[in-house]
A and B are shown apart, each in its own frame.
Chain A
Amino acid sequence: MTADLSRASLETGEVLMVERLGGGLLELVARLPHLAATAMPGTFAQLRCGAGTTPLLRRPFSVAWTQDDTCGFVFEAVGAGTRLLAELQPGDPLDTLGPLGHGFTVVDSGTVVCVSGGLGCAPFPLLINELRRRGVEDILVLNGARTATRLYPAERFARPAVPVVAEATDDGTRGHHGPVTELLGQALASHVSALYACGPNPMLGAVMRTLVESGTELPPTLEASLEAPMGCGFGTCLGCALPVRGEDGSAAWRLCCTDGPVMAMREVDWEGLSTLPGADVA
């Protein structure tokens, strides 16, 4: 079960801009022709942060969108690596390795729901673009964040035509006052062919719990993009283990980087995952 890395490549691109979206969200745009041509929805790139040995490891980022030879990444300057990325100037080099990882299974019909929590917005523009390319028009985005300024702008989930975006904030400053999972009920009223989720692991666990407790039939395609502290990003360090359950209920580890980051939500051991520290801990 060796990961397929046939599309992955080292590529040094050129930073075009780092845009401040408000609320601390940043969008890094870089000219990366190889990545732009090969990234599939849900795959990621390992970005080098600075040229020195601290921070040492690359940082994984979902490819948020591609356009011609350009890629976008959404992030927040929360640690040593992301602070360096936030300081990048137009014209600076950007050392990347990608695309990496197992992406979304993109359906080509029916109603699709995308559930985003915070920076979990990152993989959705590329996914929605691909869904539309395949003729899927009925797309609902449930977008949640702590507060209004931290909501990824609705118009950025897809260009030019914006999908239906329902928003929720923990503090009630915009949209539904409460967690994004409370918007799931109305979304599940109609038959859903695919539900895709991305956000902090506890939020993803809450999505799964809400789905199961709703008693409605689970969408045939039900996938989440997960996160874990990562060493290499290409399956050799074995550092990014996540708990899964086999069909017989047996516990096992899967690698976030090559078995994921997108995994079938039915296979994730959500209870086991909930006991683990967040990816920010490392």
Chain B
Amino acid sequence: MSQSGFASVDLGRGLTLPNPVGLASGTAGYGFELEQLIDINRIGALYTKGTTVRARDGNPPPRVAETGGGMLNSIGLQNPGVDVVAADYAPRWRGWTIPIIVNIAGGSIEDYVHCATVLEPVAEIAGIELNISCPNIAQGLDFGRDPDAAARLVAAVRTVTERCVIVKLSPNVTDIAAIARAVEDAGADAVSAVNTYIGRKIHRASGRSVLPLGTGGLSGPAIQPLALAAVAAVGDAVHIPVIGVGGIVDAASARDFLIVGASAVQVGTATFVNPETALQVLDGLRAD
């Protein structure tokens, strides 16, 4: 693949990513830590931490637990709230060339519409990713499991934003392709797949679940084959761009997603292990 042909990804509504490798929501915060560790502007997109109407303190600890080839998390959408993101964080993104895609989450259609409305006039924001699939908050999965509810949500957000709207799909469903088709029909510009898989870990000395809510979201290389299957199914079902995410640790595991039809990828948990992973993926893909 030539470097120029490789370079950009058109997600629609004027959002063109400079390259296909992004930082996944929940693994890069709002970029302010990673900016100090890596050349963040070389990366194709930053998908922010899930952002809600009001600030959320997050779940009680322990919030993370390591598993074979992966980790469970139950952060509980700790975030400062959309007003802080729009008023305080956005000015700090001025001068960054990496497209900032704000991931928004909520418990009702009104929550999502409110967040999208607040973000709409903010020039530093390139797009919105709808988190309809967080497994760690009450009602966090309702929109992700029901094609009709997902479609209503996307249609409502569509009425208040001209920005590119990406819908992040849950893998914790029977038929992910049906959800993908529903959000495409409702006006989504792209979909990202997948969010974390619901998982559980038992502390063997006590017989109790390690995470206080019992379950959490599984991420890391352990889920890469599962995510690949989901992305392939979604790619077969829709005509809009698909962004592959789940267990990418290097260029080879990212390339798998491009092979099954993804237009772009997101690097998630691997950034925790090595903040430079996304850059290494990018350089590896460029060398193809």
Interface stretch among A168-176, A183-191, A215-223, A239-247? A239-247
Is A67 close to B, CB under 8 A?
Answer: no
| A236 beta carbon closer than 8 Å to chain B | yes
The smallest beta-carbon distance between A271 and chain B, in angstroms, is 13
Contact B61 A276 (CB under 8 A): yes
Cross-chain contact B32 with A55 (CB below 8 angstroms): no
Residues of A within 8 A of B70 (CB): 56
Is B58's beta carbon under 8 Å from chain A?
yes
Q: Is the CB of B273 within 8 A of A8?
A: no
Q: Which chain A residue lies CB-closest to B23? A: A236
Residues of chain B in range 58-105 having any CB-CB distance to chain A below 8 Å: 58-66, 68-71, 73, 75, 78
Task: Report the number of A-B residue pairs with Cβ-Cβ less than 8 Å.
Answer: 120
- Binding-face segment, B33-41, B108-116, B159-167, B259-267: B33-41
- Chain A 32-73 interface mask (CB, 8 Å, partner B; 1/0): 000000000000000010000111111000000000000000
Q: Is B274 an interface residue (CB 8 A)?
A: yes
B272 and A57 contact, CB distance less than 8 A: yes
Closest Cβ of chain B: how far from A93's Cβ, in Å?
14
Are B275 and A237 closer than 8 Å at their CB atoms?
Answer: no
Type the 1/0 row for A100-113, where 1 means its CB is closer than 8 Å to any CB of B: 00000000000000
Which residues of B are found within 8 Å of A240, using beta-carbon distances?
Answer: 61, 63-64
User: Once the chains bind, are B75 and A239 in contact (CB under 8 Å)?
Assistant: yes
In the complex, the answer to whether B27 meets A237 with C-beta atoms within 8 Å is yes
Residues from chain A with Cβ under 8 Å of B221 in the complex? 53, 56
> Is A127 on the interface with B (CB-CB < 8 A)?
no
Contact, CB under 8 Å: A236 / B203 = no
Is there an interface contact between A5 and B73, defined as CB atoms closer than 8 Å? no
Docked CA distance A252–B57 (Å): 7
Q: Is A10 an interface residue (CB 8 A)?
A: yes
Q: Is the Cβ of A8 less than 8 Å from the Cβ of B37?
A: yes
Interface size class of A (residues with CB under 8 A): 35 or more
Chain A residues whose C-beta falls within 8 Å of the C-beta of B71 in the assembled complex: 56-57, 231
Q: Contacting B275 at CB < 8 Å: which of A10, A239, A258? A: A10
Residues of A within 8 A of B57 (CB): 252-253
In whole Å, how far is B219's beta carbon from the nearest beta carbon of chain A?
Answer: 10
Whether B27 contacts A282 by the Cβ 8 Å rule is no
Cβ-defined contact, B73 with A282, below 8 A: no
The answer to whether the Cβ of B269 comes within 8 Å of any Cβ in the partner chain is yes
A282-B62 CB under 8 A given contacts A3-B33, A54-B68, A235-B33: yes
B276 cross-chain contacts in A, Cβ below 8 A: 10
Whether A17 is near chain B, meaning CB under 8 Å from some CB there, is: no
How does the 8 Å CB contact mask read for A200-244 relative to B, with 1 for contact and 0 for none? 000000000000000000000000000011111111111111100
Tell yes or no: B29 within 8 A of A by CB. yes
Question: Are B61 and A57 touching (Cβ within 8 A)?
Answer: no
Task: Name the interface residues of B187-215: CB closer than 8 Å to any CB of A.
Answer: 201, 203, 206, 210
B249 contacts the other chain (CB 8 A): yes
- Asked if A22 CB lies within 8 Å of chain B CBs, one says no
In the complex with contacts A228-B61, A282-B64, A282-B66, A237-B249 CB distance below 8 A: no
B273 contact from A57, A228, A258, Cβ within 8 A? A57
Distance in angstroms from A246 CB to nearest chain B CB is 12
Q: With A230-B64, A238-B63 given, can you name 4 additional A-B contacts, CB distance below 8 Å?
A: A8-B37, A55-B66, A229-B62, A229-B63
Measured CB to CB, the residues of A under 8 A from B are 2-6, 8-10, 48, 53-58, 97, 228-242, 252-253, 258, 276-277, 279, 281-282
